[in-house]
Structure 1
Amino acid sequence: MQSFGRPRPTTNPYIHMLDEALAGTPGIEHLRFDRRRALLGRYDALQLHWPETLFGGSTPSRALARRAFALALRARLTITPVAVLRTVHNLEPHSSSTPWERRYLAWLERRTDHRIVLQERTTVPPGAPTTLIRHGHYRDWFASAPATPATPGVLGFVGLVRPYKGVEELLDAFATTRDSSPQLRLRVAGRPTSAALERELRGRAERDPRVELDLRHLPDAAFANAVMRASGVVLPYRAMHNSGSALAALSLDRPVLVPRSDATEALASEVGPGWVSTFDGPLTGDDLERFAASVSTPPAAPPELGDRGWDGVGAAHRSAFVAAVERRRRRARA
């Protein structure tokens, strides 16, 4: 059983592609998440992606109901030999959590039988059973998107706008380029996760006529168009480990500017010269100007993404599931 339900149009494309890969893999009975079945039904393994999504809720009553479910799921996982796998998308949860939620996540970390990492530089507990299954590219996902030429001098941010992504800092840094680069433009496209964040972005953007905002959910075609219209995509995250947005931009043949880390330097080396630029510390106007200058001439060769195809992803997950189930059953017999 996966921790996601039937993918919707707004669901992360990674989940869509994984859902399809698992459904088409022999030897797997692919179950999407169902709360009743999670508590009472029969299944061998539970794969978690972003376990912090077990909590939260748009109202206090929904948040209380989710906490009650999390407690019931803990009881189920305590008394039955269901294997728990976790795909380590991020080193830390994206959303803030309460002390109770942190204790629950710590328990879940201890209860995990097997981890799936998307890159070599993901840290896991010493000796923890782990399988590397690289984050796939988006070339097939966006294959039907009409080609759109890049607009010279335009930088873009595209994707869901969350606080940790640093879009406010991007707008502040861009404002400092006004005198030295008046011809530069910035487009921010994507839905903010809160009304307060949207107000913050609009307040910053209205002071600079070079900034264009499109603060809505972007269907796939609009997402691809927003990426391709930019000469380069800026992802000013406060920290970056895995980034679907970076891979999406590279899959659409647009260079990216990302924070420097072991993971982003490895990505730069993997995809080839000119495709991944990095910045250190808080993003500055100088960083943006250097990036704009670098992308004014596109790289000679397309980004190398051949090792990130989706062929074999389902089979690799199946092997991880088998290993996790066998490990859990051995522990249950001991």
Structure 2
Amino acid sequence: MSRPERIVVQQSFPPPRPTTNPYIVMLLDALLATPGLEVRTFSWRSALLGRYDVFHAHWPEILVAGHSPLKALVRQGLTVLLLLRLAVTRTPIVRSMHNLHLPQGISRRERAILRWFDRRTALRIGLNPTTLFPPGAAHETILHGDYREWFAAYPHPGREAGRIGYFGLIRRYKGVEELLEVFAGLPGDGLRLTVAGRPSSEELAESVRALAARDPRIAVRLAFLEDADIADLVGRSQLIALPYRDMHNSGGVLAALSLDRPVLVPGNETTEALAREVGEQWVLRYDELTPEVLGAAIARAEEIAADDRPDLSARSWADAGRRHLDAYARTFTLRNPRRPPEGA
């Protein structure tokens, strides 16, 4: 099958809402502005009955999840129908690798469907240069874009000496409880820690509140953050601490860097590469989070000039639409390997 003049791509995300991940909103804007590409946001009717050339998945686990066992079962059935439809019509799946592993705590049925989804994927898109792909799998790397333009409309307050911030969804693997315990062991009356974001469970919320109550220097706000709240929290912070236990792709890291604040993150291949890209002083890494490590990171953050900025030139959205169009187009060559590449 040859490449159509205009590629129609069905996305796995619905029309954006105020709470939609900014990455998705900016990606959609970039795709809609790309000549030769028609984009459709997700509905089950569109995905199952609509006509399109490529299905682009982001977080496939969302397709099989539901707020109740019955809703989950219905969505899992619909996902099976979708995969059958894609197989019968030979419609390729392109998947952005936001997560490298299956979610924890899912059912055997969900796991089986997601593995089937993975086997049916024709091409994978890595969001950073260290993403590992299955041997022989077709892939492209399109770097996760920055958030500078996204936050440009909001006030950017000056940084406050000794203030550390954490923002974003609060989940067990993000290490917020560990951060609270480590900060409590760090002496200094002039230090402050602000933790803000929506917890994944009431149990976790209670744990965070209990740990924060032990130290008057800690403030918590356990609620969804608007963009203006994030710009304010990050702007006032001298350092953003994001102690995720497993860090590969992080919109929070890029949001902090886009607002010109250094981040403290676990050291791994991904964060080492990011430090080389944007500047070593902006991505501070550790092997084990301790009060001494946290104190040293604050001291290093103090050395950054107020008008200095990380180098995010490789994270521009200007070329993202075309790069995705090229990735979609490549799937037509993959479906028909005897067809020579264009221009050959």
TM-score by length of 2: 0.92
Question: Contact 1:82/1:328 (CA < 8 Å) preserved in 2?
Answer: no
On the 8 A contact 1:50/1:93 being kept in 2, the answer is: no
Report the counterpart of residue 24 of structure 2 in structure 1.
15
The counterpart of 1:271, out of the listed 267, 278, 281, is: 278
Q: Deviations 1:21-62 (Å, cap 9, x if unpaired)?
A: 111111111010110121122111111111111122222221
Structure 2 residue 155 is the aligned partner of structure 1 residue 149? no
**Pick aligned residue for 1:253 from 228, 240, 260:** 260
Aligned to 1:57: 66
| CA offsets 1:192-211 (integer angstroms, 9 cap, x no match) | 12222211111111111111
Deviations 1:244-298 (A, max 9, x none): 10010000000000010101001011111311100114x2222211111111222
Structure 2 letter corresponding to 1:297 = E
What residue is the counterpart of 1:285 in the other structure?
Answer: 291
SS at structure 2 position matched to 1:96: coil
**Partner of 2:149 in structure 1?**
140
CA deviations 1:290-320 (Å, max 9, x no partner) are 1111112225731000111001100110011
Measured in 2, the distance between the counterparts of 1:73 and 1:265 equals 39
Q: What is the match of residue 71 of structure 1?
A: 80
Give the paired residue count. Answer: 328
SS at match of 1:90: coil
Residue 271 (structure 2) pairs with residue 225 (structure 1): no
Runs of 5+ unmatched residues, structure 1: none
**2 CA distance for matches of 1:93 and 1:287?**
31
Which whole-Å deviations, capped at 9, do the CAs of 1:222-246 have from their partners, x for residues lacking one?
Answer: 1111111110000010011111100
2:42 to 33, 50, 68: 33
Which amino acid is 2:35 matched to?
P
Counterpart in the other structure of 2:300: 294
Q: CA deviation at 1:119?
A: 1.6
- Give the equivalent residue in structure 1 for 2:3: none
Q: In structure 1, give the amino acid aligned to 2:303.
A: T
| Residue equivalent to 1:107 | 116
What amino acid sits opposite 1:111 in the alignment?
R
Percent of pairs with identical residues: 47
**Contact 1:94/1:164 (CA < 8 Å) preserved in 2?**
no
Counterpart CA distance in 2 for 1:326 and 1:27 is 17
Question: Residues of 1 paired with 2:222 and 2:88: CA distance?
Answer: 46
Q: Which residue identity lines up with residue 201 of structure 2 in the other structure?
A: S
For residue 94 of structure 2, give the secondary structure of its aligned residue in structure 1: strand
Q: Where does residue 210 of structure 2 map in the other structure?
A: 203
Structure 2 equivalent of residue 191 of structure 1: 198
Q: Aligned with 2:70: secondary structure? A: helix
Instruction: Name 1:313's counterpart in structure 2.
Output: 320
Question: Which whole-Å deviations, capped at 9, do the CAs of 1:95-144 have from their partners, x for residues lacking one?
Answer: 53222222222211111101111122100012211111111011111111
Q: Which residue of 1 aligns with 2:5?
A: none
- Determine the C-alpha separation between the residues in 1 that align with 2:138 and 2:228: 39
**CA distance in 2 between partners of 1:137 and 1:37 (Å):** 30
Instruction: Name whichever of 220-229 and 96-105 sits farther off.
Output: 96-105
Task: Decide which moves more: 288-297 or 44-53.
Answer: 288-297
The answer to whether the Cα contact below 8 Å between 2:102 and 2:111 also exists between their aligned partners in 1 is no
Q: TM-score, normalised by structure 1?
A: 0.94
- The 2-side partners of 1:96 and 1:23 are apart by 36
Q: Secondary structure at the match of 1:36?
A: helix
Range 244-253 or range 191-200, more displaced: 191-200
**8 Å Cα contact 2:48/2:81 also seen in 1:** yes
Please tell me whether the aligned partners of residues 45 and 325 of structure 1 are also in contact (alpha carbons under 8 angstroms): no
Q: Distance in 2 between matches of 1:301 and 1:330?
A: 49
SS of corresponding position for 2:332 = helix
Q: Does 1:6 align with 2:15?
A: yes
1:56-98 CA distances to partner (integer Å, 9 max, x unpaired)?
A: 2222221121111122112212222111001011222455322
- Residue identity opposite 2:169 in structure 1: L
Moved more, 54-63 or 254-263: 54-63
